[in-house]
Amino acid sequence: MVEPARRAFSVSARIAVPVFPGTNSEDETVRLLRDCGGNADLVHWSHGDRLAEYDAYVLSGGFAYEDRIRAGAIAAHDRIMDFVIDGAASGKLVFGICNGAQILLEAGLVPGTGPRRRPTAAFAKNGPQPHFVCRHVQLKLAIAPSRCAITAGLPPGALVPAWAAHAEGRLAATPQHLDEIVVGDHLAFLYAHADGTVDDAAVPNGSALHCAGLVNREGNVLAIMPHPERDGWNFNHLDRADGDDVLAPSGGAVLFRSFVHAVALRTP
C-alpha cells in the first residue's frame, strides 16, 4: 500500500472530488491525490451540500449528465457548481480534468473572461475527425509556473505525461476570444512531443493554439483536457526502469503533487 504518503502533509486542508451523474474517473483521481499527500474525499451528488466545507475542488473525468447538449453544458448548471463557483470566487483552488475541464469552461470559470455560466470558449468536438481519441500525450507548461497556483511546483516548461481520452477537446472560440486567451496569458498547457517540441502533429484533437489547458485570470482555476492520473503511477509507464517501485506515484503525479502542495499553502 502507498497509504503512508497520505500523512506527509500535516495540514487540515480538505479536497473534494464531486461526483456528478455520469462521472467516471473519480476513484483514480482521489487515489492519486491521496498518494500525493492530499486529504481528498469523493462527494456524491446527493450530498452536494457538504461541498461548502471543503478547501479545494477537483472535477474529474467522465460524461456528466451524458454530455447532453455539449460536454459539461448541463453540469455547469448543477447545484454542485454553485459551490465550486463561489469557492473559486473566494480564492479556493479548482482543478478540472477532461470532463471537469469542459465543465469549468461551460461554467465560465476559465478562461473567465466573461460572466459566470456565459462561456467565452469551449472544448468542442474533436477535429478534423469527430471521433473519440485515446492517445498518450505530453502536457507542456506554457506559462510561468507561478502564474497559476496549481502549477507553482513545476519547473518552467515542464512536461507532464498524460492520456488524452475524449471526443470533445478542441479549444474553440471566436478570434476575439482566442486573442483574449493569448493576451491574458490563459494558455496554461500545450500539447507537445516527448522532446518538448510543439506542432500540429502533437495535438490529438485539432485544438486551437495547440491548447491542452487553460487558467483563469486570478490563477486559482486550472482546466486541462488530458488525464495525468492515468499515467500517475510507475506501473502505468510503458518505459519504466527495472527496480522502480511499481506502486509509487510518478509521471503525471507531478502535477497532482503541485496541486496538493498549493492547497496546503493556501489553507489557513
Q: Which is nearer to other proteins, 51 or 110 (CB)?
A: 51
CB of 108 to other proteins, least distance (A): 24
CB of 214 to other proteins, least distance (A): 23
Look at residue 9 and give its three-state secondary structure.
Answer: coil
Rounded Cα distance, 28 and 35, in Å: 10
Binding site for other proteins (CB under 8 A): 1-3, 19, 21-25, 27-28, 31-32, 44-46, 61-63, 65-66, 129, 131-135, 163, 165, 167, 194-195, 227, 229-233, 235-236, 238-240, 242, 244, 246-247
Helix or strand holding residue 96 (H, E): strand 93-97
Q: Which is nearer to other proteins, 195 or 200 (CB)?
A: 195
Rounded Cα distance, 104 and 223, in Å: 7
Q: Which is nearer to other proteins, 182 or 194 (CB)?
A: 194
CB of 25 to other proteins, least distance (A): 6
Q: Could you tell me if 40 and 33 are in contact, meaning their C-beta atoms sit under 8 angstroms apart?
A: yes
Q: Which is nearer to other proteins, 12 or 129 (CB)?
A: 129
Radius of gyration of the chain (CA): 17
**Closest to 227 measured CA to CA, from 138, 117, 131:** 138
For residue 162, which amino acid is it? Answer: A
CB of 96 to other proteins, least distance (A): 16
Rounded Cα distance, 2 and 231, in Å: 16
Q: C-alpha cell of 150?
A: 496549481
Question: Which active-site residues does the annotation give?
Answer: 98, 227, 229
